[in-house]
Amino acid sequence: MRMMSTYCLEGSPRPAGSVLTVQFTLYGADYVALNTADKAASQRAFSTMMKMTKLDIGALQRAYAGT
- Average pLDDT of the residues of the chain: 76
* pTM metric for this prediction: 0.51
How many domains does the chain divide into?
A: 1
Q: Side chain identity at 61, as an amino acid letter?
A: Q
DSSP-derived secondary structure for 10-62: TTSSSPTT-EEEEEEEETTEEEEEE--GGGGTT-----------HHHHHHHHH
3-state secondary structure of 1: coil
Q: Residue 37 is part of which domain span?
A: 3-65
The 10s digit of each residue's pLDDT in 29-61 is 778 887 776 665 566 666 666 666 667 777 778
Give the pLDDT score at 38.
64
Distance from chain centroid for Cα 31: 5
**CB of 36 closer than 8 Å to CB of 45:** no
